[in-house]
């Protein structure tokens, strides 16, 4: 049971309050948390308020759960009250009546809706109980439909009886079985940042299960990776483990689990060429270490820098003459299909000349092959996410493994079936490859309430409107919307991002003419961590909805709600999708690298855990007195029309944010 203590209303009323508080203190101690006099005093006050409210409202037949743990948020709901018609998530504060405190209560209620099986189909009311107000004043506009999570309300400790009475008079009866609710599974789907902090704190991927029963794939893949590492250690072997999967299926989660799990004792690191991902994960882990363990920020950053590393710097250091084997026996190579080929590795980047002499896959095997005995490279393969030139693909990995007898590999059959030879590990079935289909993640996990988006995006980019429409029609409340108005998109994003959920704007790096539509700013590299981790009113935060992250800033990461600004680099014509790049003063056809543009939009369209709002600018009309041919309205109309024909939903006016609860008048 996730609650530290739970009982019926009658039992809470009959029990000595000191006994209830003692049980909570005992549960706290059993979980390794130190108790404080302040905490015990807070519990006494909460229990007293609940007893008074239950007694006055006739709640003897209800169920009460105290300190209900929410794994995804690494928090606890102070109290959950189950009446015969609603679930109340109560957050107690001493004097805090701020919007942030209301958002915290709302976030707890949203978590129950999305991840607690017993909460589905029942009204859920977030409640902030604070000494900052007195009594309870019902909202001027009560919920018209008691379904899902209502807007949060606020009351004083002395207002619980009035609150309970209002709920019982206003909400329709929806019988709740308290014992069944307590026993119902709670299976959260954390975001990448949440998962990283949980795994770093030594939770396992088995605890970070999905809310859907089809998430066995995630556990099976994690088990297959662990099995391969154990076999390599036992046999003193060197092995590359390829983990394939569709966007948002949990590849990064499996990789982080490998690094922060049992392999941590052997030395393990998560390597990625995605500099924003490195910055965000390092900063998130360091902040969490400071908050949870009281570590200094400098000490925390030193710890996390060994666990999360830039792959290019790792390879450059390991390739230096006399460098020797690295301290890590296990490395996870993120987006391994994007490893540089030899030409790119020698050339380097505009800001950093190359120092490597072989392809990055070749250097990886050479460096890790320096270990006496065993070593493992876990290569995460993001199919269809190549977004730049100079990426070697799976074929280069197969070439270097075949050329080095020290190494063998394990992978799912998918690595041999790719239509693109560059993304095919080998021809036929080579003797150095063991096939294990558990290493292929086929179930999208990023979308919390509906997994249809990934398949819909594939159909849209493949020009298959009928299939896309079919996918969207089978989904419940399909979460992709289209609007032509940027202000409406921003309003909708703020409305969808309830509680403390994050919204943000995304754009293609090639969408150069969004400047003419009033969206010029991109997230600066130095602000990426703040964009993903900070909150409004920090103007650098994603939910300020000012700067937009490109595919380079957001690949491998995610937001709860995304607003995608569609650019002129991918438009509709008589022949279907047309990829372009902006040079000088006009668009030029992008034929040789058109697949990179399509992959960019594949990445951008699959970043949301909940809703995606696609803003397609109106563009410049040809019959206007001033016509900007680089923002042609007809091209944008064709994009919007195709997305709607594929099943995306017109953004309704109701998507605008509902009014926030305000503090009731002091009585």
Q: How confident is the model at residue 201 (pLDDT cuts 50, 70, 90)?
A: low
| Best CA proximity match to 530, nearest among 555, 507, 511, 549 | 549
150, 183, 216 — which closes off a domain?
183
Q: How confident is the model at residue 347 (pLDDT cuts 50, 70, 90)?
A: confident
Residue 625 has pLDDT above 80, yes or no: no
User: Is residue 93 within 8 Å of 130, Cβ to Cβ?
Assistant: yes
Residue 388 has pLDDT above 70, yes or no: no
Tell whether 465 and 596 lie within a shared domain: yes
If one counts the domains in the chain, the total is: 3
Tell whether 110 and 213 lie within a shared domain: no
**Residue 426's pLDDT is what?**
93
- Residue at 362 is within a domain: yes
**Residue 215's pLDDT is what?**
55
Helix, strand, or coil here: 271?
strand
Long-range contacts of 24-29 (CB under 8 A, 24+ apart): 24/66, 24/67, 27/67, 28/4, 28/67
- Residue at 130 is within a domain: yes
Tell whether 363 and 319 lie within a shared domain: yes
- Residue at 557 is within a domain: yes
Tell whether 357 and 247 lie within a shared domain: yes
Structural domain of residue 338, as residue ranges?
A: 192-441
Tell whether 141 and 281 lie within a shared domain: no
Q: How confident is the model at residue 665 (pLDDT cuts 50, 70, 90)?
A: very low
Tell whether 600 and 635 lie within a shared domain: yes
Where would I find the H helices in 6-98? 9-14, 17-30, 37-57
Residue 658 backbone phi and psi in degrees, to 5: -75, 155
Tell whether 47 and 119 lie within a shared domain: yes
CA 289 from centroid of its chain's CA atoms: 20
Q: Residue 480, CB half-sphere, CA atoms under 13 Å: how many?
A: 30
User: What does the pLDDT look like over 434-483, one tens digit per residue?
Assistant: 999 999 988 766 666 557 898 999 999 999 999 999 999 998 889 999 99
Cα separation, 140 vs 156, in Å, equals: 18
| Best CA proximity match to 128, nearest among 95, 154, 94 | 154
User: What does the pLDDT look like over 233-263, one tens digit per residue?
Assistant: 999 999 999 999 877 777 888 888 888 877 6
Average pLDDT over residues 412-439: 92
**Residue 210's pLDDT is what?**
41
**Residue 656's pLDDT is what?**
44
- 661 or 357, higher pLDDT: 357
- Residue at 285 is within a domain: yes
- Residue at 660 is within a domain: no
Long-range contacts of 510-513 (CB under 8 A, 24+ apart): 510/567, 510/569, 510/580, 510/581, 510/582, 510/597, 510/600, 511/565, 511/566, 511/567, 511/568, 511/569, 512/567, 512/568, 512/569, 512/582, 513/567, 513/568, 513/582, 513/628, 513/630, 513/631
**Residue 163's pLDDT is what?**
96
Tell whether 122 and 212 lie within a shared domain: no
- Residue at 666 is within a domain: no
Tell whether 196 and 179 lie within a shared domain: no
Tell whether 493 and 540 lie within a shared domain: yes
Tell whether 414 and 535 lie within a shared domain: no
Cα separation, 620 vs 631, in Å, equals: 5
392, 407, 441 — which closes off a domain?
441
Cα separation, 297 vs 290, in Å, equals: 6
User: What does the pLDDT look like over 156-199, one tens digit per residue?
Assistant: 999 999 999 999 998 888 788 999 999 998 877 777 788 788 77
**R_g (Cα) of the chain, nearest Å:** 27
C-alpha triplet 312, 318, 322: angle, nearest 5°: 150
The pair of structure tokens assigned to 239 is: 């092995």
441, 474, 503 — which closes off a domain?
441
Average pLDDT over residues 384-402: 79
Average pLDDT over residues 612-628: 90
Beta bridge partners of 6: 65
Q: Calculate what percentage of the chain has a pLDDT beyond 90.
A: 62
Cα separation, 380 vs 336, in Å, equals: 6
- CATH for 318: 3.40.50
Average pLDDT over residues 100-127: 92
- Residue at 661 is within a domain: no
- Residue at 273 is within a domain: yes
Tell whether 400 and 475 lie within a shared domain: no
The pair of structure tokens assigned to 615 is: 């803003």
Average pLDDT over residues 577-594: 90
């Amino acid at each position: 049971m996730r609650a530290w203590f739970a009982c019926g209303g009658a039992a809470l009323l009959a029990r000595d309050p000191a006994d209830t508080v003692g049980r909570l203190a005992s549960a706290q101690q059993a979980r390794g948390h130190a108790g404080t006099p302040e905490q015990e005093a807070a519990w006494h006050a909460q229990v007293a308020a609940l007893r008074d409210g239950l007694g006055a409202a006739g709640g003897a037949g209800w169920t009460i759960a105290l300190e209900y743990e929410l794994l995804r948020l690494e928090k606890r709901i102070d109290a959950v009250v189950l009446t015969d018609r609603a679930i109340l998530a109560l957050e107690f504060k001493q004097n805090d009546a701020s919007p942030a405190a209301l958002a915290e209560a709302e976030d707890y209620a949203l978590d129950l809706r999305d991840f607690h099986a017993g909460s589905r189909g029942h009204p859920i009311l977030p409640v902030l109980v604070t000494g900052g107000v007195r009594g309870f004043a019902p909202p001027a506009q009560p919920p018209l439909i008691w379904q899902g999570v209502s807007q949060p309300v606020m009351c004083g400790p002395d207002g619980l009886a009035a609150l309970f009475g209002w709920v019982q008079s206003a909400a329709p009866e929806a019988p709740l079985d308290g014992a069944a609710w307590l026993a119902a599974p709670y299976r959260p789907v954390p975001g990448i940042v949440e998962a990283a902090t949980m795994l770093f704190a030594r939770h396992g991927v088995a605890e970070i299960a999905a809310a859907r029963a089809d998430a066995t794939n995630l556990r099976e893949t994690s088990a297959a990776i662990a099995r391969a590492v154990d076999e390599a250690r036992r046999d003193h072997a060197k092995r590359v483990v390829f983990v394939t999967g569709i966007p948002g299926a949990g590849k990064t989660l499996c990789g982080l689990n490998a690094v922060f799990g049992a392999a941590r004792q052997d030395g393990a690191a998560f390597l990625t060429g995605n500099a924003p991902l490195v910055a965000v994960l390092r900063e998130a882990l360091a902040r969490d270490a400071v908050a949870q363990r009281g570590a200094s920020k400098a000490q925390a950053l030193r710890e996390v820098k060994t666990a999360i590393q830039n792959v290019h710097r790792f390879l450059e250091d390991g390739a230096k003459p006399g460098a020797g084997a690295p301290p890590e026996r296990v490395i996870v190579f993120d987006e391994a299909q994007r490893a540089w080929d030899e030409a790119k590795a020698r050339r380097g980047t505009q800001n950093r000349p190359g120092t490597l002499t072989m392809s990055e896959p070749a250097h990886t095997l050479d460096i890790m092959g320096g270990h006496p005995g065993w070593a493992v490279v876990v290569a995460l393969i993001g199919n269809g996410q190549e977004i730049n030139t100079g990426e070697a693909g799976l074929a280069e990995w197969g070439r270097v493994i075949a050329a080095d007898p020290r190494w063998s590999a394990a992978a799912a059959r998918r690595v041999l079936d790719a239509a693109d030879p560059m993304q095919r590990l080998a021809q036929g079935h080579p003797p150095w490859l063991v096939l294990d289909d558990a290493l292929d993640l086929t179930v999208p996990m990023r979308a919390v309430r509906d997994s249809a988006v990934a398949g819909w995006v594939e159909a849209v980019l493949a020009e298959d409107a009928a299939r896309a429409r079919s996918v969207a029609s089978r989904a419940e409340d399909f979460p992709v919307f289209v609007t032509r108005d940027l202000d409406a998109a921003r309003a909708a994003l703020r409305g969808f991002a309830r509680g403390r959920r994050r919204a943000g704007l995304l754009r293609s790096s090639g969408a150069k003419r969004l400047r003419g539509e009033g969206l010029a700013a991109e997230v600066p590299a130095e602000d990426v961590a703040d964009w993903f981790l900070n909150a409004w009113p920090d103007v650098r935060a994603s939910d300020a909805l000012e700067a937009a992250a490109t595919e380079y800033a957001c690949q491998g990461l995610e937001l709860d709600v995304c607003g995608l600004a569609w650019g002129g680099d991918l438009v509709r014509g008589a022949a279907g999708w047309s990829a372009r790049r902006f040079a000088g003063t006009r668009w030029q056809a992008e034929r040789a690298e058109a697949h990179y543009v399509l992959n960019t939009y594949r990445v951008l369209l699959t970043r949301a855990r909940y809703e995606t709002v696609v803003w397609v600018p109106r563009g410049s009309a040809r019959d206007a007195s001033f016509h900007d041919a680089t923002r042609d309205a007809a091209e944008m109309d064709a994009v919007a029309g195709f997305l709607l024909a594929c099943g995306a939903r017109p953004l309704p006016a109701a998507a605008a944010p509902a009014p926030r609860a305000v503090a009731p008048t002091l009585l």
